[in-house]
């Protein structure tokens, strides 16, 4: 089971929830629901390769998600507790404990790397009302994740959030920021310009060695992945290219 890797969440599997709102804007949290967890568990372990159970401990509802380990021939479980819901208390705790147990297995854990998402009032329809002599703010706007990507550490490095009209209200691109930082550092003489986009120095050296070993040119790699320049090589392209190169014969043996 150690070689099984749970896939990362797609944009359409992530929901946006308002965390805080005031006259200046609102903040969003990214989350997944239990249906997404069930779907990924089915995909990864088959519908017969996992199971869930619940139990009360000291008045709190816990969920255990178990996965069948073919190598050991036994079920392996991970458990977590749910938080109380203001409506449908038992159902809310059951769903929350299940989602938390799935986080322990790695499902959606990448959401913990989400940035602080702030939507300014200029691009959100925020309204005010008075309740119990207090001013309350609310919005009828709905938001969704339009695009998302992750780095090699399974952390979010690119994110675009749009409103119901499809207008982008938040964007973050660590890949672009990293590339600009490299260019600035290279221009300042702090590090040599390498022209290989988002790759670390170690990745660049490894790729160059494989290209020299196989005799494959960098232009061939760019053409294969429909890139216009070396600066467009990102982590995903690097992994694909390295996998292909490692399966290729050395130039001397060809």
- DSSP assignments along 130-155, one per residue: EETTEEEEEE---EEEEEEEE-TTS-
Q: Which residues belong to CATH 3.30.390.80 in the chain?
A: 33-107
- Residue ranges of the chain whose pLDDT lies below 70: 1-2, 84-91, 180-198, 252-254
Rounded distance between C-alpha atoms, residue 224 and residue 216, angstroms: 11
Residue 179 has φ and ψ, to the nearest 5°, of -65, -40
CATH class of 33-107: alpha beta
Q: What pLDDT, in 10s, does the model give residues 110-140?
A: 999 999 999 999 999 999 988 777 889 999 9
Q: What is the pLDDT of residue 223?
A: 86
What lies within 8 Å, CB to CB, of 94 at 6+ separation is 54, 61, 63, 82
């Amino acid at each position: 089971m150690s070689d099984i890797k749970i896939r990362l969440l797609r944009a359409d599997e992530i929901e946006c929830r308002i965390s805080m709102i005031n006259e200046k804007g609102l903040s969003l949290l990214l989350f997944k629901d239990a249906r997404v967890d069930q779907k990924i568990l089915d995909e990864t372990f088959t519908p017969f390769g996992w199971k869930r159970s619940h139990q009360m401990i000291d008045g709190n509802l816990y969920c255990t998600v178990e996965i069948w380990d073919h190598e050991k021939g036994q079920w392996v479980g991970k458990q977590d507790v749910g938080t109380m819901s203001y409506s449908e208390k038992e159902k809310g705790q059951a769903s929350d404990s299940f989602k938390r147990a799935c986080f322990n297995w790695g499902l959606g854990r990448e959401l913990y790397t989400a940035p602080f998402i702030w939507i300014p009032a200029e691009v959100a329809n925020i309204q005010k009302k008075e309740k119990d002599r207090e001013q309350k703010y609310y919005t009828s706007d709905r938001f969704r994740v339009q695009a998302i990507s992750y780095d090699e550490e399974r952390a979010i490095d690119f994110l675009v959030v749009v409103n119901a009209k499809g207008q982008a209200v938040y964007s973050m691109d660590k890949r672009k920021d990293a590339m600009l930082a490299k260019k600035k550092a290279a221009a300042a003489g702090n590090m040599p310009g390498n022209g290989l986009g988002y790759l670390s120095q170690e990745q660049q050296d490894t790729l160059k060695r494989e290209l020299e070993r196989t005799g494959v040119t960098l232009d061939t790699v760019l053409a294969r992945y429909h890139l216009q320049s070396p600066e467009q090589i990102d982590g995903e392209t690097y992994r694909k290219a390295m996998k292909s190169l490692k399966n290729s014969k050395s130039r001397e043996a060809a």
